[in-house]
Amino acid sequence: MIFYTYICFLLHILIISSLQQKSLLGNTIRKELSKFQCDIHDFTSTYKNEFQESPFRNRSIKEITASWQSTFPEGNYRTNTKNSIPFSRMNLREPDTILRMAEYQAMIYCKSTMVGAPSDISSIRNMAKKNLRVGNFTIEATGFDRKRVSYWYIASNIAQQSIILVHRGTKTSNPSDVFDDLDRFNIHNSHGLLNRDFSYLSSSKDVYVDSGFYQRFQHEKTAIVSALRPVLSRYSNPAFSFIVVGHSLGASWAFLNAAYFASQNDINQRMSAIYTFGQPLLGSAAFVNEITKKLNTPNERYVRVVNRNDMVPHIGCGKCIQPEYATEKWIMNTNEVVWKDCDGGKDLKCSSGIPCNKLSWSNHSAVGKLSMRGEFCRIASNS
């Protein structure tokens, strides 16, 4: 990753100096220079994030619990009475709904308490007893990565009448995951290659996706779909909602899975919502816009949550963008937690308006005051 960024710097210097030699007009140079400064900022910020010890690492159970309690307006989760409200009766874009999904997301970072245990699933199961927003859920299926760490899971929740598919993102130990998965090359749909998975996309070279993200999706697609279909039929009551959730790399992965589900009639009929947290840029304007349109037809289903000045939603493959549709829910970059509905990925009054030198990794694993780090799983029991 460091090597790659270094090459990028060299290229930029080359471009800048050749432009200067040709004494082209200042505008192009200024643009290149500011892109260059952004790249340096991204790089140093990532570097710092990677090598500095996280201030969240040593928080005590008391601190973790207090911090989590502060995500309730009334400040006391012991009176939490909302965790048995069915998803379909909640408002798609309300902070309370979003925070419920952020909790399902956070649990995938649970660490096992047993040394050498292949999975973290028992720690996740333990969370069902704690009277959190996730309430009393059951783990239905799980997937593990090559290092036997949980990668995705499917949960059911009878009281909430929901089935939730959660995708893991970048591990805090390796934030450069994001860079590793990016910028190799793009897969274009000029030969209809992408139509095998996303039948509704138009065949055009302008429709393309970053190959790293696409490969991750492809790799787990069969495993996820064969685990999902039986769960959907077990809870065949149409009142049950199926919700797709992802964070960071897992957000792009969730987006691609949802895009795939949208082409499978049986699954598409059941899919009620897609929540992504800190989703990187993964495809061209045509790609993300066509998928977003499909996801939001006939009803709005896709909520793209961006936390404060998080850098990750701003980085991705060349010319990749956020969808133009009004899907972003931004937690404003202020000390207070203020939620804002945005007018598409180009809305300068939302996260797109943050200058690149103000972007940072530090809020990538949070949703307002809710930390989605592994520490989430250490919240005190509320019995």
Ligand X SMILES: *[C@@H]1O[C@H](CO)[C@@H](O)[C@H](O)[C@H]1NC(C)=O
- Which residues are near ligand X by CB under 6 A? 53, 55, 57-58, 136, 138, 158, 308, 360, 362-363, 366, 371
Nearer to ligand X, 80 or 136 (CB): 136
Q: How far is the CB of 162 from ligand X (least distance, A)?
A: 12
Q: Are 178 and 248 in contact (CB under 8 A)?
A: yes
Nearer to ligand X, 156 or 289 (CB): 156
Which residue is listed with tokens 């028992």? 122
Q: How far is the CB of 341 from ligand X (least distance, A)?
A: 21
Q: CA-CA distance, 252 to 247, in Å (whole number)?
A: 8
Q: CA-CA distance, 364 to 66, in Å (whole number)?
A: 20
Q: Which residue's Cβ has the minimum distance to ligand X?
A: 366
Helix axes 211-234, 249-261, angle to 10 degrees: 60
Nearer to ligand X, 53 or 336 (CB): 53
Q: How far is the CB of 370 from ligand X (least distance, A)?
A: 8
Q: CA-CA distance, 72 to 355, in Å (whole number)?
A: 31
Taking phi over 0 as left and psi of -120 to 50 as alpha, with beta for the rest, 71 belongs to alpha
Q: How far is the CB of 57 from ligand X (least distance, A)?
A: 5
Q: CA-CA distance, 344 to 342, in Å (whole number)?
A: 6
Q: How far is the CB of 315 from ligand X (least distance, A)?
A: 17
Nearer to ligand X, 216 or 314 (CB): 314
Q: How far is the CB of 316 from ligand X (least distance, A)?
A: 21
Helix axes 285-295, 249-261, angle to 10 degrees: 60
**Residue 17: Cβ-neighbour burial (10 angstroms; 0-12, 13-18, 19+):** exposed
Nearer to ligand X, 58 or 265 (CB): 58
Q: CA-CA distance, 111 to 109, in Å (whole number)?
A: 6
Nearer to ligand X, 101 or 209 (CB): 101
Nearer to ligand X, 170 or 257 (CB): 170
Q: Which residues touch 220 (CB under 8 Å, ≥6 apart)?
A: 143, 151, 152, 253
Q: How far is the CB of 261 from ligand X (least distance, A)?
A: 24
